[in-house]
Amino acid sequence: MLLGDLGAEIIKVENPKHGDDSRTWGPPWAYNKDLNDKSSPESAYFLAVNRNKKSITVNFKTQLGAQIIKDLIKKSDILVENYIPGKLDKLGLGYEELNKINPKLIYASITGYGQTGPYAKRAGYDVIVEAEAGLMHITGEEGGEPVKVGVAITGLYTHGAIMAALISRMRTNQGQRIDCSLIECQVASLANIGSNYLIANQEASRMGTSHISIVPYQRFKTKDSFIIIGAGNDGQFKILCNAIEERTLLQDERFKTNSNRVKNRKELIDLLQKKFIEKDTEYWLSVFSDKGIPFAPINNIKKTFEHPQVIARGMIQEVEHPKSGKIKLTGIPVKYSKEDPRIRLPPPTLGQHTHEVLSNILGYSEDKIKTLIEGHIIN
């Protein structure tokens, strides 16, 4: 989807029988605008991640279906796949085979555990790898149970890797294979928490919204809800104390430096919490406004999409979907000074573009397409 946002022509290859599994990951659904259309509605999940794509259906477990993929490869820059290592090789669609057809091809594989190593053949799912690679261990309230993080991030790493491979191809005129795994991306995303262990053998623990190395940098309960405060340095801590009229904290040796505040975390947080509980969130938001300290309310999803900055930056887009009618999608998050990425295509219906791609891109005749439909190779 990210590549499609940047202008690439994306062809999503789906199973002719039921398509991408995420089409059925509902409710919630975007119901069909035609009340006489009794086909399954599209899930909100599928619609979220499939804009700017075309959909074709191909049974590439058959020889004729695999040939369609090979014909597409001849004309393609990038292939993205997420099969267990070795699966596509058995179908004649592995990297080595397709590299012979198109040496410029960038073949991006997203797997659970990578192409090599003792776990390579295991299937990977984000919640499993979150548990296995440390993220769930550090997510959740202090003393509470491990908690799943809301969304997966591996696609972001793969997107960057593909862009780098495209730049490399400009120099070498050769494509290459990208091996991107859930577990490696997860380990890399441990960032400073991982570094604390590698450098100091310091095991991590769940800390809720707190930061292991900065205090105060967390959620506080107010009279009616919550607020997040981030005093990332001594100057910001001074601003905080002055704003809430607790200037005596600045003279307390336990809190004069961030290092001391980390050591005396509980004492400081208890004092601040007693202050914040006295007033409601709106009061504190007005107190901190334009003071030069990071702060925010904890918004639900409704308030997030009503946020004036979210609206001003075009992060809500409305498009016309062929089955669902007008639907709203999140906008494109990166803006460019000389380009205008946009949602050119709504998320596709299953096999919506099969005929178009086979006819216009591959040059298949109507008779050949008809034969493929009759043989249940395509829909």
Positions marked catalytic: 211
Distance (Å, whole) CA 31 – CA 286: 42
Cα–Cα dist 119/241, whole Å: 51
Asked if 105 and 78 touch (Cβ cutoff 8 Å), the reply is: yes
Using DSSP, state whether 94 is helix, strand or coil.
coil
Cα 186 to the center of its chain, rounded Å: 12
Q: Please report which helix (H) or strand (E) contains residue 109, including its range.
A: strand 106-111
Could you tell me the end-to-end alpha-carbon distance of the chain, in angstroms, rounded to an integer? 23
Strands across the sheet with 78-81, in order? 78-81, 106-111, 177-181
Contact 194, 137 (CB under 8 A): no
Q: What whole-number distance in Å separates Cα of residue 236 and Cα of residue 107?
A: 47
